[in-house]
Amino acid sequence: MQEHKNANALEEQLYYIGECKKYLEKKTSEIGRPLYACVHTFGCQMNARDSEKLLGVLKEIGYLETEDEDMSDFVIYNTCTVRENANLKVYGRLGHLKNVKKKNPHMLIAMCGCMMQEPDVVEKIRESYKFVDIVFGTFNIYEMAKLIYNRITSGSQVIDIWEKTKDIVEELPTQRKYPFKSGVNIMYGCNNFCTYCIVPYVRGREISREPKDIIMEIERLVKDGVKEVMLLGQNVDSYGKTLDNPVTFAELLREIDKIEGLNRIRFMTPHPKDISEDIVEAIRDSDKICNHIHFPLQSGSTRLLKLMNRKYTKERYLEQVEMIRRILPDVSITTDIIVGFPGETEEDFLDTVDVVRKAKFDSAYTFIYSKRTGTPAAKMDNQVPEDVVKDRFNRLLEVVNEVSHEHIKRYEGKDMDVLVEGIDDHEEGYVTGRMTNNILVHFKADESLIGKIVTVHLDECKGFYYMGRLKED
């Protein structure tokens, strides 16, 4: 029944894509030039994957891609709301777009993503940013063509925000940023309700995709030249629990591992409370699953972890790290850490520093706590003074750099396989690529190697990356 419903939803969207295409052909003929579209992404890999879908639909309609908002006829902001700064950035850019739109009567502006799931934000756009044409959220991303059609036929602002959905429509056109690698959504939403996090409120409850649909999508991607896939979910460890016939994440990994022609499998993000030995063993038993686990800590203080509703202790986290390293001795572990959570004391902070030293992360994404309206943490007492937070943040960064730089050196002098991803921005005549452990390598080569996996000798560790040289056949 669900498959039938999804098929109908897909058919409807393909119809609206066709109608929008007719409109754009007529508009292009009238003004005597092609029309351009720009998709600007804020936020995580899930948002980046959604943006590829949005751009794919826009190109199918007939828009040409550009990264220049000022020359665009359709600009869409795919927003993030994890931190307040992301919201402020969006409002700042909207102010600039208002002036651009005044000079271009054909221009349409759309807003979507997590920020749009906040009622206060939508009301602010409705009242103060009336020049925005289309507003939609995270649950009806796939309906963009229909919303564009509604805007061009009605001539008025279209706002369509859903509170939830059971539909998963993945078969629409997609424009990948990289031809050789791609994100693949395996699930949507989150059931964890960490007290600082807005994600469960803006992306809804967990829904897992059927394994056969995921396998078919990856097989199609491989036929289209993809060598590496990133399996995406807010908590991939809990994949499969909502399916009629439950499948574990470890079982899914082993099935994807069988796909011929696929070279690399990555995933984001496991949760320390849920990761199990069978997941780590699946990585060990595979030549394709990358030797890297992103393992968010958030805090090393058991007291704060309880306030955060993370459902593990400092000791349990370190036990899980020990289990991972026992099964995968050379694995690269990276993490996320929040500094300045409400009520954080110096003792709590030093517990975090202690975990960083004991876990020996290859890198850590460190964030200053950002109060998000609508989350329990926003109402907590004892918000930490800004100067104290900044001091702790800088001290943590020093320890992370010291530990990571020392630990990451272990590959110096080795030959490693590298997927070449692009031209090096800093050194002419060099390219940059990523090892299976997710560490970047820069080496002298030309752009003909982009998208290929090559062997590189690692000459020197430069902190979070390596300088190397291409090994000739």
DSSP 144-213: HHHHHHHHHHH-S-EEE--S--------S----S-TTEEEEE-EE------TT--HHHHH-S-EEPPHHH
257 vs 278: CA distance, rounded Å: 14
Amino acid at 407: H
Collapsing DSSP to helix, strand or coil, 419 comes out as strand
Tokens for 423? 């031209």
Amino acid at 277: E
**pLDDT per position as a tens digit, 339-348:** 999 999 999 9
CB atoms within 10 A of CB 450: 18
Within the chain, what is the greatest distance between any pair of CA atoms? Answer: 68
Residues 6+ apart with CB under 8 A from 224: 179
**pLDDT per position as a tens digit, 116-132:** 988 889 999 999 999 99
**pLDDT per position as a tens digit, 215-235:** 999 999 999 999 999 999 989
Bridge partners for 85 per DSSP: none
Quick one: pLDDT band at residue 171, thresholds 50, 70, 90?
A: low
Tokens for 100? 């651009």
DSSP for residue 396: H
Quick one: pLDDT band at residue 464, thresholds 50, 70, 90?
A: confident
Tokens for 454? 């090559």
pLDDT at 28 over 60: yes
338 vs 442: CA distance, rounded Å: 30
DSSP for residue 385: P
The average confidence (pLDDT) of the chain is: 92
**Of the candidates 359, 361, 366, 438, the residue with the CA atom closest to the CA atom of residue 405:** 361
